[in-house]
Chain A
Amino acid sequence: MIVVYDKLTGAIKHTFDYEYSADGLELQEDEAALVTLVEHENAIGTLRVDLESKTLIAQSAVRFGVDKREITAGESIQLTLQHEGEQFGETFLLSVGEQLLEVPYSLASIQITFDLPGEYSIYVPDGRIFSMLVTVRVKEDVV
């Protein structure tokens, strides 16, 4: 399997299953590739590349807990955060709907207020960090 990754972060961008030669592989400027004889299949989604050893290692992880999955516009949820593994700086990015929040690793929980109705997916958009997607449904506040 050929693993193409971001050479600055080690986040895996895509793979070529059952291929074992990266010769002639066209890479973008920010990409590098490694070859492994192990076919990780779907499990590749939980791995990243250690930039020093150029080997696959487990992703770091953020585990979310939410106090409510359905609220009314204008209300808040409390999101608890548990971290595992390497931390990449002081903060990590959290995707909430279309917005990106910069959240300090030091916080065990944050409050998020939703002003508009809709369905909001919450996840960490960083290929080095594993997170389960959480969805919050925000109902209309005017009925």
Chain B
Amino acid sequence: MKAFRISGDAAEVDHATNVSISRKYPIEDEIKLLRRALVAVAKGEALPEEFVAYHDFVERVVDKRRQVKRLAKEDA
């Protein structure tokens, strides 16, 4: 069976990455989480759990979309 892949170009992948992140973490939440992380670092405390979860999510999304870009490049 012939197989097709629907990926979009690099700009579309980047846009989808932004949408995926902002859907779960609106910009106000991102700023709040980053501020709390900064305060924790300044005080020498452990990073807040919410920040770690946020950071982990962003990293996983970015990593997935890197794979999408790589696959699209290979298909081209």
Residues of A within 8 A of B (CB): 73-74, 76, 78, 96-99, 101, 103-104, 107, 109-118, 120, 140-142
Interface residue tally on B, bucketed by range: 20 to 34
- CB pairs A–B below 8 angstroms (10 shown): A73-B64, A109-B1, A110-B4, A111-B3, A113-B3, A113-B6, A115-B72, A116-B16, A117-B20, A120-B6
Return B23 CB to nearest CB of chain A, in Å.
8
Residues of B within 8 A of A (CB): 1-8, 12-13, 16, 19-20, 23, 57, 60-61, 64, 68, 71-72
A140-B20, A142-B60 given as contacts; is B68 within 8 A of A116 (CB)? yes
Q: Which of B1, B8, B20, B23 contacts A111 (CB 8 A)?
A: B1
Return B7 CB to nearest CB of chain A, in Å.
4
Q: Which residues of A contact B4 (CB under 8 A)?
A: 96, 101, 110-113
- Kindly state the separation between the CA atoms of A143 and B19 in the bound complex, as whole angstroms: 13
Q: Which residues of B contact A74 (CB under 8 A)?
A: 64
A142-B57, A142-B60 given as contacts; is B8 within 8 A of A116 (CB)? yes
- Kindly state the separation between the CA atoms of A109 and B2 in the bound complex, as whole angstroms: 8
Most chain B CB within 10 A, of A73, A115, A118, A140, is at A115
Return A105 CB to nearest CB of chain B, in Å.
12
- Kindly state the separation between the CA atoms of A74 and B6 in the bound complex, as whole angstroms: 10
Most chain B CB within 10 A, of A98, A103, A116, is at A116
Q: Which residues of B contact A78 (CB under 8 A)?
A: 1
Return A137 CB to nearest CB of chain B, in Å.
13
Q: Which residues of B contact A114 (CB under 8 A)?
A: 6
